[in-house]
Amino acid sequence: MNWILLIIAGLFEVGFATCLGKVKETAGLESKLWFGGFLICLFISMFLLIKASKTLPIGTAYAVWTGIGAVGTVLVGIFYFNEPATFWRVFFLSTLIISLVGLKFVTN
């Protein structure tokens, strides 16, 4: 169950990074609403990370949480913010995913 909470926490990390990107692109009320989304996603992500790390090793939990956030944020950047999907970006993204899966398998 804590692995599921950790995955959800990572997805909310992608959410707060995405909201932060939108805050940068917008102004006025729209910017404030995106900032509110950032705060909500940040709170939920941290809360779930704390819950998951009560039974999972903190080093593994944190690495997986940030890894999910990093991979998800890069994918959002590519598909939503039109960032380039170069060979090297995809290559290193793949190695990050392989590392996260490896950490999951070697953690009790």
Looking at per-residue pLDDT, the higher value among 107 and 66 belongs to 66
Is the pLDDT reported for residue 108 higher than 80? no
Q: Average of pLDDT values for 10-37?
A: 95
User: What six digits make up the tokens of 79?
Assistant: 């598909």
Q: Is residue 43 classed as helix, strand or coil in its secondary structure?
A: helix
**Backbone CA torsion sign across 106, 93, 21, 7:** negative
What is the pLDDT of the chain when averaged over all its residues? 93
pLDDT of residue 101: 86
What's the pLDDT at 89?
93
* Predicted confidence band of residue 107 (pLDDT cuts 50, 70, 90): confident
pTM (two decimals): 0.85
pLDDT tens-digit map of 65-100: 999 999 999 999 999 989 999 999 999 999 999 998
Domain spans of the chain, in order of start: 2-106
**Helix runs in 26-57, H state only:** 28-52
